[in-house]
Amino acid sequence: MSLELHVSEREQFELSGPLDLTSVDWNDPHHRRSVAACLVQGVYILERDRQEKREGPLALAPPWWEFFKFKLACPIIDNVDSSIFGAIYEYNTSLSGSQHNSPLYVIAFRGTVTKGNSISQDILLDLHIIQNKLHQASRAEIATQAVRSIVAAYDPSRVWLAGHSLGSAIAMITGKNMAKSGVFIESFLFNPPFISPPIERIKNPKIKHGIRFAGSLITAGLSLALKGPPQSGTRAVDSFAAMAAWVPNLFVNPADHICAEYVGYFEHREKMEQIGAGAIERLASQNSLGTLIMNARGNREAEALHLIPSANLTVNISPSANFKHAHGIHQWWRLDIGLKSKLHLYR
């Protein structure tokens, strides 16, 4: 059977990659975002190469990192289904020298692959996100250990984290774990999951704000009822505050219901501060209504993925033809993309 029957255009770097980036300016946000997204795509194609047994000159993954002068240090393997869900890339300084602001290592994680024998494990982990227990999965622990081993040996300021969709969730957990221990890693999180009703799709801003305001009151009230008022020095307060100096780069498309609510999450925090309800929102922002209910039912291990204090939020404001395009990784290196970015720092 010919190779063409198995290969889509989107897997081939020479057909769908950012061929214009022949020279990377590591101070340029577009270049940094594009390289990070391509390295994530490299993980997707690594897994597809494994599934299709494409090796040597038939392998399609290497151009996705070699074009930017990286080499594959090692793949990261899931111990459940033996799939490749991540990769550690090393910047090849022998080819380009040490560039200012370039990473020495990038640890990247793919999202769900809907083909081959990895689909069942990927979908199970997608369900773990909905159930607020992805942090308990072995894949999250493997990812955290991989990052810790790199950070222990090299300057953390020269290490990047990157992920898309499910892989973004894995990277989010890893980045949060590192931040709680005082290590803040440059992170590029594409279409990170935010489990919530699709409030952001409501067109009327007053209705949206009203729903979110009511949600904050309920969340803060339930938190007080279950936990009591937060005390300075408590573990929950300290861990959330400890993460405030970690400012991951979130890349969100409002037409993607999986990640769109991040837009409202940060906008709502600012509006609550403006109307004098900042104390309520600060309490609500440290808790998830779903997690509080799970805790009340006895599931003390539930932990909401999306609760982060700070972020540099970049929104793709270009029209999307469909959900597949809005959720895809390819949009993030397009030259004609329209973006709006805003820095959100936790007070």
Q: Where are the domains of the chain?
A: 3-199+242-275+305-344
92-106, 107-121, 158-172: range with highest mean pLDDT: 158-172
Q: With a cut of 70, say whether residue 1 has pLDDT above it.
A: no
pLDDT of residue 51: 95
Q: With a cut of 80, say whether residue 214 has pLDDT above it.
A: no
- Across the chain, mean pLDDT equals 85
SS3 content of the chain, % helix, strand, coil (to 5): 50, 15, 35
What's the rounded mean pLDDT across residues 3-16?
A: 78
Cα–Cα distance measured from residue 16 to residue 327, given in angstroms and rounded to the nearest whole number: 16
Q: With a cut of 70, say whether residue 337 has pLDDT above it.
A: yes
Cα–Cα distance measured from residue 41 to residue 61, given in angstroms and rounded to the nearest whole number: 8
Q: With a cut of 80, say whether residue 4 has pLDDT above it.
A: no
Total length of the chain = 347
What's the rounded mean pLDDT across residues 69-80?
A: 96
What percent of the chain shows pLDDT beyond 90?
Answer: 62
Question: What is the biggest distance separating any 2 CA atoms in the chain, rounded to whole angstroms?
Answer: 66
Task: State the pTM of this model.
Answer: 0.85
What's the rounded mean pLDDT across residues 323-332?
A: 96
Q: Which residue has the higher pLDDT, 166 or 283?
A: 166
Q: With a cut of 60, say whether residue 233 has pLDDT above it.
A: no
Cα–Cα distance measured from residue 283 to residue 59, given in angstroms and rounded to the nearest whole number: 50
For residue 22, CA distances in Å to 19, 87, 233 come to 7, 23, 50
Fold of 3-199+242-275+305-344: Rossmann fold (3.40.50)
